Structure 1
Amino acid sequence: MNIKTDKCNSVLVIEDNQSDFFLLEDFLIEKYHNIKITHSDDFQGAADFLTCNTFALVLLDLHLPDLSGLELIKKVLHHSSKTPVIILTGYSDINLAQKSLKLGVFDFLVKDEINPTLLHKSIEFALSRRSYIEQIEQEIHNYERLFNFSPQPTWLLDLNSLRIINANFSATSHYGYSLAKFKKMSFLDLHPKCEKEIVEKKMKANVKDKRNYDYTHVLQDGEHIDVKIYCGEVKKISQGDVIIVQTNDITETLKYIETIELQNEKLKSIAWTQSHEVRAPLAKILGIIDLINYQNETDPETQFLLEQLKASSCDLDQMIKKIVNKI
């Protein structure tokens, strides 16, 4: 039983041989439900169709009246954009097949070997591959958006040379270098000379070591900033091993911490003054009061005043202790 599908709903067949076209038309109708087949017998007509219409697939004969071979393939691929192209030829040419596949053709079929099942399998493979490529392209696009719109300066570096492969918008705006300038630089160029050797060792160490470190970066205008660096390894076959590096400008944070530390030192100084310099004369006053009470018999009124003076001094001593404890 022959089951038809709707996966391939529109095909452009570029074929100058009417007999071959009719045969392909029968094969397609046999396998696909409600398929729309458009026919062109030369390149110029096909180019016009591709400019004005969208097709799920292109079947291309390699020898047309106005163009043939690799030149024909290149021009059809240019006009077909992302539409899968399957080559149909009257003879087997391995060298040409390899070259056409490298250019972006999805399959290369010899006409004498084509039957409904073979053509159907080739089309299904091409459509599935196109869908998979689109998915990958979308994931790449999403990654690029995440990379570029991250609020933190971020770079992609070659792990071996630490050459900058890419930098996001935040890196170019914060550091003042253009993307083109960044791509001519090593990441080490952002560090002062005294840090370069240790930075290189840390960043080329194993992944567990590449967590976060505090360093100095030099901006395009020569200004120095304090940064915390985060690294992670990315496997990228086409460009070898790559690491992604993100920096966080902690200059203001360190200034804030320095201000707090200075304030703490002042508070410590105040605490020392309160606990030693202020309490010392207060302790003397209390001692004098006790001495007066011990050595002299005073009248009741004087005795009352001395007791009040002692009580007030003790209250003041307790207040100083509380202030010191709070500091």
Structure 2
Amino acid sequence: MNNGLSILTVEDNPSDLFLLEHMIRSSGLSLRHFYSTDRIREAYALLAAKEIDLVLLDLTLPDSFGIHSFIYLKPVVQKIPVIILTGLSDTNVALEAIKEGAQDYLVKGELTESLLAKAIQYSLERKRTLEHLRLSNERFNTVVKATNDAIWDWDLVTNTVFMVGDTYKQLFGYDWVDSDIPQDHWESILHPDDRARVLEKQAAAIREGVAIKWEDEYRLRKRSGEYAHVHDRGYIMYSAEHRPVRMIGAIQDITLRKRAEEIVLKELAIQQRLKQQQITEVVLGAQERERFELGQELHDNINQILATCRLYLDVAIEEREPRLELLVKSRNNISMAIEEIRRLSKELITPSLNDLGLVQSIQELVRNIQMVGKMKIRLAISGLDENALLPEQKINVYRIIQEQLNNILKHAQAHSVMIELTKEEEQIRLLVVDDGRGFDPRMRRDGVGISNIISRAELYNGKVDIDSAPGKGCRLEVILNSKALPTQA
């Protein structure tokens, strides 16, 4: 790749040409080639054949004069910056050339090395900027043809907006097709509830001078009087002095999407209410079941024990023989009643997990079950930081394990159970597998054990997976989100 500039000087005065070349070579600019000619036709041929980066053009030449010199070169300098060289009397012609596309003009009698170098550098940069803008405009025009958005171009200096194409008319009904509209037109059709917010957000993006993009969603009044939901976004352009001068953007009609979102939100709200209603029904059902079972225990077991104890005491009070034996039996019956009440209390009262800890509470639950049953239970707990869990979450995990173990004891006739409790990142994973008789998860069951587990999991945005079949045991997996707060009924 070649380094340095290739400059073409079109000048018929040998002294001026010598001075220009000397200034350029002494200015510190990196120069690759220095071409020169005193004829406009030769300049045209050089520009067509060579890679020229910049042209220094004198408007008074043997074969051309004035603005015609630049006009003649225009077809081959579309992407090349041109600096006009002029005398004091020709500045008006030089300004006319700039209107036609020249980058700058220099008065020969006022030239210095630094002024010439600066003019060359600025002209190159401005031309690059204009070329980027031209390419951007080409892409912009292509997008306008391909999209259904209403494209707008806002001149921040004159405060007018140019609507590109006819999409704005198609979407909103206003007769603005490839034409300027006053900025207050847009402000006047903003929804009253959105106007202050949208205008302030847009003004802040422009005022701060650091943003290059602005976007917002709001409601826009159509010509028919109804409001459309729109997504509007704009790209802010700045001057060389970093002043915002222009914004190009697009308005997209998102009314259908908004309506669809509203329908989905309503459906989700209905589903949430139904789910909460189901949870409430399950919880109330579980409470009624617990009350019924407690009443049965009190009536059929503890009440009978205490009734027998009272009978023994009545006989002993009447001093019937054998009095001592009756008192001993009464004491034993009272001890049995105390143990039964303690057992019921353990089942009904939530363990003090804050004092005992979740892991130790689960271990004690497993030990108690193994003491009274023939079922072997293997417990594995890993990665669980109890300090990171809320008390309600600990109770929830404990109750799910307790509920499933009760289900297995009552219905599964299992010989062995495996319990795995792990935590990975924000997920708590509980796995309970038994080798019992299993069941068909699709069949309706009279009990509420599984329903209670599902309800507890849903309270923490969790999910339950049950894999079972008759004669195949049961695999229960519960995934809970440790960061989730319980949903409100």
Interval containing the TM-score (normalised by the shorter chain):
0.5 to 0.7
| Conserved? CA contact 1:279–1:317, under 8 Å | no
1:45 aligned partner: 42
2:104 aligned partner: 106
**For structure 2, which runs of at least 5 residues remain unmatched after alignment?**
26-30, 144-148, 206-213, 309-339, 348-405, 411-446, 459-489
Q: Is 1:23 the equivalent of 2:23?
A: no
Q: Is 1:197 the equivalent of 2:205?
A: no
* Matched pairs, number: 285
1:144-293 map, 5 Å: 158=154, 163=161, 196-205=191-200, 215=218, 240=245, 242=247, 251=258, 257-277=265-285, 279-280=287-288, 283-284=291-292, 286-287=294-295, 290-291=298-299
Pick from 77, 80, 89 the counterpart of residue 77 of structure 2.
Answer: 80
- Per-residue CA distance 1:114-159 (angstroms, 9 max, x = gap): 7xxx3644542232113322554577589889997xxxx8976647
1:67 aligned partner: 64
1:81 is paired with a residue of what secondary structure? coil
1:204 is paired with a residue of what secondary structure? helix
1:58 is paired with a residue of what secondary structure? strand
| Conserved? CA contact 1:188–1:196, under 8 Å | no
| Conserved? CA contact 1:29–1:35, under 8 Å | no
| Conserved? CA contact 2:38–2:61, under 8 Å | no
Bigger CA drift: 205-214 or 255-264? Answer: 205-214
Pick from 31, 34, 46 the counterpart of residue 36 of structure 1.
Answer: 34
Pick from 117, 124, 130 the counterpart of residue 131 of structure 1.
Answer: 124
Using the aligned pairs only, state the percent identity. Answer: 15
| Conserved? CA contact 1:87–1:108, under 8 Å | yes
| Conserved? CA contact 1:188–1:199, under 8 Å | no
Counterparts of 1:62 and 1:317, CA distance in 2: 98
Letter in 2 for 1:48: A
- Per-residue CA distance 1:24-57 (angstroms, 9 max, x = gap): 343345443775333142x333323322223243
2:465 aligned partner: none
2:35 is paired with a residue of what secondary structure? strand
Counterparts of 1:145 and 1:259, CA distance in 2: 45
Counterparts of 2:34 and 2:48, CA distance in 1: 17
Structure showing greater Rg? 2
| Conserved? CA contact 2:56–2:82, under 8 Å | yes
Counterparts of 1:290 and 1:202, CA distance in 2: 66
Letter in 1 for 2:69: L
Question: How far 1:248 sits from its partner (Å)?
Answer: 11
**For structure 1, which runs of at least 5 residues remain unmatched after alignment?**
1-5, 299-306
1:92 aligned partner: 89
Q: CA RMSD in A?
A: 5.7
Counterparts of 1:242 and 1:10, CA distance in 2: 36
From the two aligned structures, give the one with the greater helix fraction.
1
1:82 is paired with a residue of what secondary structure? coil
Counterparts of 1:200 and 1:318, CA distance in 2: 55
Letter in 1 for 2:191: K
TM-score (norm 2): 0.41
Letter in 2 for 1:272: T
- Per-residue CA distance 1:272-322 (angstroms, 9 max, x = gap): 222235643663465366446648989xxxxxxxx9xx9999x86877765
Counterparts of 2:455 and 2:71, CA distance in 1: 84
- Per-residue CA distance 1:204-254 (angstroms, 9 max, x = gap): 2255888986656899xxxx9966767897667998564868889675666
Counterparts of 2:81 and 2:263, CA distance in 1: 59
Going from structure 1 to structure 2, the CA distance change for 1:256 and 1:184 (only over 3 Å counts) comes to farther
| Conserved? CA contact 2:86–2:94, under 8 Å | no
Letter in 2 for 1:130: S
From the two aligned structures, give the one with the greater strand fraction.
2
Counterparts of 2:261 and 2:455, CA distance in 1: 28
| Conserved? CA contact 1:282–1:317, under 8 Å | no
Going from structure 1 to structure 2, the CA distance change for 1:213 and 1:64 (only over 3 Å counts) comes to closer
Question: How far 1:268 sits from its partner (Å)?
Answer: 0.9
Counterparts of 1:209 and 1:86, CA distance in 2: 39
